[in-house]
Structure 1
Amino acid sequence: MDALTATQQHALTQLQAITNGEADVAQSVLESVDWDVQKAAELIFDTAPIAGPSVTPRSPSPLRTMESLELDDSRQGERQASRSRSRRAYSLMRYFPSYPTSLLSLLAYPLHLISSIFRFVFGILRIPIPQLRFASLNFYRPLPSGPSDPRSVTDRWVRALEEETGAVCISRAGVTPAGASSGTDAGPSSLTSRPGVSADSGEVFDEGRKLLPDFTLGSYEEILRLCQREAKITCVILVSEEHDDVTEFKSRPRSTLTDPAFVKLLHENEIIVWGGDVRDKDAWSAAQKLQVTTYPFVAFLALQPRRGTRSVSTSTNGNSTSTSPTLTILSRHQGHCTPPLTAPTSASTLTSHLTSQLLPRVLPFLERIRTTARERERDRMLREEQDRAFKDSARRDRERIQEKIEEERRKVEEGRRREEEERLEKERLERERLEAERQEGVKMEWRRWSRRTLVKPETKGAAGAIRLAIRLPGGDGRTIRQFSPDDTLTSLYVYVDSQLIPSNLSPSSDPVTPPSGTLTGEAAIESQIHAPQSETEDTSKAAADAWWDFKLVLAYPRRELAWAPHTTLGSIDGLKGGTQIVVEKIGNGKSKERGGSASPRGAGAASPTGITAQNDDDDEYDTESD
């Protein structure tokens, strides 16, 4: 290769890019056509023989050899033209010769001889061995273009068959005109019939169009598994373009593959049809397993009872049953398809064989298998339905149990929450009660201090004195006292408040100093009553009511004497000359608490100032003359 010129190296590179082949093969082909890349490509892809003896390098151009074959009779010309059309439609999956050198052929011959001997011996002993590809001195390799999976290869072969025969598969007969074939119509490959609209056999076959069997796409092993799973008859069709009988089998006007009676019989009996060209790996493997010797080849396979040694098992009722059936080759047909009435692969021979022998013998057994399979499937579905119902029932029971557990948990949590709320509420009420008692105790200390310090002895007969008759609340009687006009409203409230102190608290034990603060006199009381300056008048009145816990009301005309600091009694209208004042407790539920179990002053009891309380039967409108 180092001795090649630049032009020759460029031509070699171009041919390798086109064919993706080896350098020595491409060089041999280019040398045979005087380094013409176009002729070399045409030689490889269009006119290269598919099988046969190897081509010696530097031999005369294969194009000239093909031209010499065109001088044959007209029938041979028709066969050659049909074969050319098939090769063009099948160009994506062909093999081309690799033009081995003499040294490689010499090295391959001993291996070919040894493999043939091993195959012969192992074939007699019926020992399966791996297939060794040394059948000839040619070295084949598939073209790298296009997908190589079995389904795609089978689909390409069926498309090429449709183009060559001008027919269409049954499954597409209802939507595609006869003779049309395209990748769009075919749809994706699958392990079922070719995609399309299922057509009724009576309507399709009466139209007179050319039809092909409904080929199933997939590998040979997948077809066998499908045949076993569905318990149906399988028809395997294998062809080879190197045999002249294949053209008669496929493309003759009344060929086997397009014969209406044969195609209709396959379709009506739901026979699985699979085929291929032995140039493909999967079809070649099927041919080796079926021990094909010539082409075209047709074989029918189906499940059958085991022959020879049979293992028998006894059921509960005493009947004996054999083991599961095995896949069996029912019949093999190979060779020429003419004349139509006696040829082994003609349509009439195959149709007669199916109707008179194979179908009557095989279909009852397959129907029993399918019936048994349907019963097993029905039992399986029934068990699945029972299992599903049991699982659903168990799931519902679990859900109900879980709901009850959740409900109990919610109840427990709700009870704990209520107990916690009640506990917190009790603690709050207890704190409020203790705080109220503390405040009441502090307030009582202020009241007793006020009674000792701010309630002055009464001065009778003073000029301008104001005589007030004070009726106490709760039937505790009334008291009469004279006040000076210079006395303040605070002194009046302090006096009334001192009358409400429980009698068990002796005046002699009253404190002499204020409980808190540095102020003395009425200013100390006013400092305890006053609300902050920022609060309104209503807020100040509420603070005063909360401190005194009572209000003073003139009897007639009824008018409240609201407490106010620094207000003298002489400046209040209605008090001059004396009057009747009624003490009304503010409704906050503290009257009993303030009064205790003992009355502040009973009838006839002596007041701290020595004024005698009047009986409740006295007229409450007494004048000063009383």
Structure 2
Amino acid sequence: MATTSDFDVSQLSSDQQQSLQQYIDVTGQSINDAVPLLERSQWNTQIAIAKFFDGEGPDLVAEAQAAQNEPPRPSAWHGSLLDVDDDDHHARALSPRQRTEPAPRVVPSQTVSWQLPGILRILFTPVTITFSLLRAVFFWLPQSLRLPFFATIAKRGLGRASTGNPTLPKEAAQRFKRQFEEEYNSNALDFFEGGHAQSLDTAKKEIKFLLMVLVSPEHDETDNFIRNTLLSPEVLSLVNDPENNIIIWGGNVTDPEAHQVASEYSCTVYPFSCLVCLTPKEGSTRMGIVKRCSGPMTPADYVKELRSAIDRYAPELAAVRADKRAQEHARNLRSEQDSAYERSLALDRERARQRKEAEAQAAAAEKRALEEAEAAARLAELRQQWKRWRVTTIASEPDATVKTAVRLALNMPPSSGAGRLIRKFHAETTLEELYAFVECYDLLQEQVYDEKATKPEGYEHRYGFQISTVLPRETLEPSKTITLGNRMGRGGNLVVEEISPDEEEE
């Protein structure tokens, strides 16, 4: 197993990358080992996971195609095709004696009960009774008298007898653990609460040993083995030691799943114990049977058998475990680096967005200020044009012969520099004309007249001052209908006050 990935994942399609990620999440295998297996499985995640846990046989289609393209050659090897593991070249270099027996992954099958019709069931009743008697006699015979033929018959009969109502593997495991603790008043052994397939997958994923214990209540040695051997201090110390990395799974052969496990592992003698673990030299994903213990054994012999297998395979499992930890560390490091990069990238994007918004706001403010300045300049130009035109329409001061003239004293604003101004106006002069006189007073003083000046189109002049009486104080609006004669009589004092821009807007 490689600690680093040399494969470029970007070469895969999105569906293939998704299948690869799902496969790695379930199996924890490296990318270099996962991609070839997925390619052989046509990128089907379920088929690849099944091959990972159950082991992968030879590709018969590829061998047939190769045989068609190459001439037949004599071979000196006459072994079985099942002995070849295509996933690991080290397995080919091992002799048949050095190779371990593969550990089957047992998934309980739902059996369908079928019964004979009523008449045939009555006719076959003597045969059924005879078979049951033979099976009972077989279990009471000593081990040396059990012929292989009768063993096969009894084994098949037990399988049919033990298949009752279907039970979930997890429920069967929990029931076995509960009955074991009640029967022997001990919970020193922490049996795995799950099916055999789940325990085997857990042992493979966590790279631990799986100790399977199968018992049969019909054997006399079962109780003695459990009390004196399995629950002995020596065995408990070995199994419960965390350094040994042992998962223990137990089953009663009267349960359908345990009976199927006993059949797959060729168990004929009880009590039966089997030690299973990952065999890296024979295949990176291969689970093998490294030790079998059948029949009653003393605690010393039982520990010795298990210890020999553990000492033999523990260094290999420790190396694989360290390799897996290194892969997980590298994966976590890459994940943290990717997360930090994403956070940094998000922060950079946020800063760029804020900078872009600030630049847009500054540009909008600058554009708005420029437009306001242009509008103010245009307004000032129109205002000046209006004054040049309006000054030509202001009537001159009446002479002394006009007896109806209105004499006004105007206190001009400080900005005009005119101070107090006294002037006569015609009685029919409107208040708006009085405002125009004050507005154009500077041009009247300079005597600047442009006879060609015209009124700007679309411009409505607004005075930046107001004229008020002194006592009582009252503001005079620039009306075009109210005359000075009607409003002021023969004369009076008025005050010209400038209006601020805010007051003007109000």
Q: TM-score, length-normalised on structure 2?
A: 0.50
Change (3 A) 1:395 1:160: closer
Q: 1:331 to 1:433 in 2, by over 3 A?
A: same
TM-score after normalising by structure 1 = 0.42
Query: Counterpart in 2 of 1:150?
Result: 169
Q: Check whether the contact 2:291–2:305 (CA below 8 A) recurs between aligned residues.
A: no
Contact 1:97–1:140 (CA under 8 A) maintained in structure 2: no
| CA displacement at 1:439 relative to structure 2 | 4.4
- Runs of 5+ unmatched residues, structure 2: 1-112, 132-151, 456-464, 501-506
Alignment of 1:454-469 (within 5 A): 455-459=397-401
In structure 2, C-alpha distance between the alignment counterparts of 1:479 and 1:267, rounded to whole Å: 116
Quote the residue 1:330 is aligned against. 291
Q: Does residue 392 of structure 2 align to residue 417 of structure 1?
A: no
Counterpart of 1:278 (choices 228, 231, 253) is 253
**Cα offset, 1:219, TM superposition:** 1.7
Quick one: distance in 2 between partners of 1:158 and 1:510? 116
Describe the shift of the 1:100–1:236 C-alpha distance in structure 2 as closer, same or farther (beyond 3 A).
Answer: farther
User: What is the Cα deviation at residue 457 of structure 1?
Assistant: 4.6
The residue number in structure 2 matching 1:603 is none
Matches within 5 A, 1:99-138: 103-104=120-121, 106=124, 135-136=156-157
Pairing of 1:451-490 with structure 2 (within 5 A): 451=396, 455-459=397-401
Contact preservation (8 Å) 2:213, 2:251: yes
TM superposition shift of 1:267 = 2.6
Aligned-partner SS, 1:214: coil
- Give, in whole Å, the separation in 2 of the partners of 1:138 and 1:331: 22
Q: Does structure 1 residue 352 correspond to structure 2 residue 306?
A: no
Partner of 1:221: 197
**1:142–1:381 CA distance, 2 compared to 1 (3 A):** closer
Q: Which structure has the highest helix share of the two?
A: 2
Aligned to 1:539: 475
**Which residue is equivalent to 2:324?**
377
- Is 1:290 paired with 2:276? no
Cα deviation, residue 286, structure 1: 0.9
Question: Residue 502 of structure 1: CA displacement?
Answer: 4.4
Q: CA 1:567–1:498 in 2, change beyond 3 Å: closer, same or farther?
A: farther
Structure scoring higher RCO (CA < 8 A, sep ≥ 6) equals 2
Shift in CA distance, 366/538, structure 1 to aligned 2, threshold 3 Å: farther
Give, as a single letter, the amino acid of the residue that structure 1 aligns with 2:309.
Answer: V
Instruction: Verify: 1:443 aligned to 2:379, yes or no.
Output: no
Identical columns (%): 19
1:360-412 deviation digits (Å, cap 9, x = unpaired):
x3333333134313421332233224313432443244235424432442233
CA contact (8 A) 1:240 1:295 kept: yes
Q: Is the 8 A contact 1:108 1:137 kept in 2?
A: no
Aligned-residue offset at 1:288:
0.6
The number of aligned residues is: 337
**Secondary structure of 1:398's partner?**
helix
Contact 1:277 / 1:283 at 8 angstroms: preserved in 2? Answer: yes
- Residue in 1 aligned with 2:236? 263
CA distance in 2, matches of 1:479, 1:151: 112
Matched residues in 2 for 1:388 and 1:169: separation?
41
Displacement of 1:441 after TM fit? 4.6
Pair 1:388-2:361 in alignment: no
User: Is the alpha carbon distance of 1:169 and 1:101 closer, same or farther for their aligned partners in structure 2, counting shifts above 3 Å?
Assistant: farther
Q: How far has the Cα of 1:328 moved from its partner?
A: 1.8
Q: Deviation digits for residues 209-251 of structure 1, max 9, x if unmatched?
A: xxxx32222222222333334444433222233334435445x
Distance 1:138 1:466 in 2: 134
Counterpart code for 1:565: R
CA drift of 1:279 comes to: 1.9
When residues 373 and 459 of structure 1 are mapped into structure 2, their CA distance, relative to the original with a 3 A threshold, is same
Partner of 1:169, secondary structure, is coil
Partner amino acid, structure 2, of 1:282: E
- What displacement does 1:261 show? 3.8
Q: State whether structure 2 residue 501 is matched by structure 1 residue 565.
A: no
Q: Residues 202-221 of structure 1 correspond to what in structure 2 (within 5 A)?
A: 213-221=189-197
Tell me how far 1:255 sits from its aligned partner: 4.2
Q: Look up the equivalent residue of 1:500 and give its one-letter code.
A: L
Q: 1-side partners of 2:441 and 2:421: how far apart? A: 12
3-state DSSP of counterpart to 1:565? helix
